[in-house]
Amino acid sequence: MKIGQKIRRLRKLKGLTIEELSDYADLTKGFISQVERDKAVPTITTLKQILDVLGIELAAFFSEFEEREKNIYLQNERIVEKNSKNFKVEQLVPKLKYLEMEPVIITLSPSSIYLKNFEEDEGFGFVTKGRLKLAIDNEERIVQKGDCFYVFFDSRISMENLTNRAAEVLLVNY
């Protein structure tokens, strides 16, 4: 893994935007962006400024550098994030140390509705089962198995199951 990718993952794990990290580390947004894309290499002093904000020691940053996450996850390893009478949200990949994407399966009961606000995340969805009324902000469509959608940050999504069977949507937050 490159330094920039690791910094980006750590920043996202802390829930910080590039702007917040740059403000706290007293660096420019452009510089942080270039570092995260491995277009610029920080000095040790600058890297320490960034890591101090992220709450990780310089030695720990490099000692865990070659650490690898698991790549394959079986169905029985899923974690149920939310389970109600209307819908169930299952994490397909348990929380990883350096998670960048969060894939989930949303299962909607017949005639139920699922609502979510995308504040800083973006997401991609793919309908794997059923027929839904999908609304993203002011756009509304009927979607079915095989259809997909993209949700930008600062958007609101509503999915209503229009059938008398369970519907499923694969949603990947980024």
Q: What is the mean pLDDT of the chain?
A: 88
Residues 140 and 105 in one domain: yes
Distance CA 172, CA 150 (A): 10
> What's the CATH code of the domain at 44?
1.10.260.40
Residues with Cβ within 8 Å of residue 97, at least 6 apart in sequence: 13, 67, 69
Query: Which residues make beta-bridge pairs with 88?
Result: 83, 107
pLDDT at 68 over 80: no
Residue 94 lies in a domain: yes
Q: Is the pLDDT of residue 45 over 90?
A: yes
156 lies in the same domain as 87:
yes
Each residue's pLDDT tens digit, 84-133: 899 999 988 876 655 667 899 999 999 999 998 877 678 899 999 999 99
Residues 84 and 153 in one domain: yes
pLDDT at 48 (0 to 100): 93
What sections of 72-149 are H helices per DSSP?
none
Q: How many domains does the chain have?
A: 2
For 124-160, what is each residue's pLDDT tens digit?
A: 999 999 999 999 999 999 999 999 999 988 899 999 9
Domain-terminating residue out of 16, 40, 63: 63
The b/e string for 22-55 (b: 16+ C-beta within 10 A; e otherwise) is beebebeeebbbebbeeeeebeeebbebbbebbe
With respect to residue 153, please indicate whether it lies within any of the assigned structural domains. Answer: yes
* Dihedral of alpha carbons 151, 117, 11, 169, sign: negative
Read off the tokens for 92. 């397909």
Is there a domain that residue 124 lies in?
yes
**CATH, residue 101:** 2.60.120.10
Residue 9 lies in a domain: yes
Residue 173's alpha-carbon distances to 1, 138, 146, 151, in angstroms, are: 22, 20, 19, 9
Q: Is the same domain home to 57 and 108? A: no
Domain around 166: 75-173
Decide if 18 is inside a domain: yes
| Whether residue 119 sits in one domain with residue 165 | yes
Token pair 């089962």 is found at 129
Question: Looking at residue 101, what is its pLDDT?
Answer: 77
Query: Is residue 68 domain-resident?
Result: no
